[in-house]
Amino acid sequence: MAQEDKIEETSSKGNKSNPNKINIELSEEIAEGVYANLAMIAHSNSEFVIDFIRLMPGVPKAKVKARIVITPEHAKRLLSALSDNITKYEETFGPIKKTEEAPKFPINFGGTIGEA
């Protein structure tokens, strides 16, 4: 059974005078999600590539569980949405603790890379 979410666009005045509806289908398989504890980010002049990786303790090999390719504009929108959601999370549950410890595994895929 698929889940559907509806997104409605509203006018700048906030009323729903002429809404454009987008039906987004979310299959059960995708709805389950995939666990990742590392993200590697690379970019070119036209796109950002985000690899979501599951790193297991004591296992020398990690697997990319999902790869998302987005435009620079959408990367900026994602950054803004993630920042907004982190702020809301911390208002509800308190500050997220960040460890200063660096990952203890080699990271060398070449190119311009950021970590999350």
| pTM assigned to the model | 0.66
Q: Would you give per-residue pLDDT tens digits along the chain (116 residues)?
A: 444 444 444 444 454 554 788 999 999 999 999 999 999 999 999 999 999 999 988 888 999 999 999 999 999 999 999 999 999 999 999 999 988 776 565 554 444 556 66
- So what's the pLDDT on residue 47? 98
- So what's the pLDDT on residue 102? 60
- So what's the pLDDT on residue 63? 92
- So what's the pLDDT on residue 112? 53
Strand partners, 49: 42, 69
Give residue limits of the domains in the chain.
1-33
What letters, b where the CB count within 10 A reaches 16 and e where it falls short, cover 43-81? Answer: beeeebbbbbbeeeeeeeebeeeeeeeeeeeebeeeeee
- So what's the pLDDT on residue 11? 40
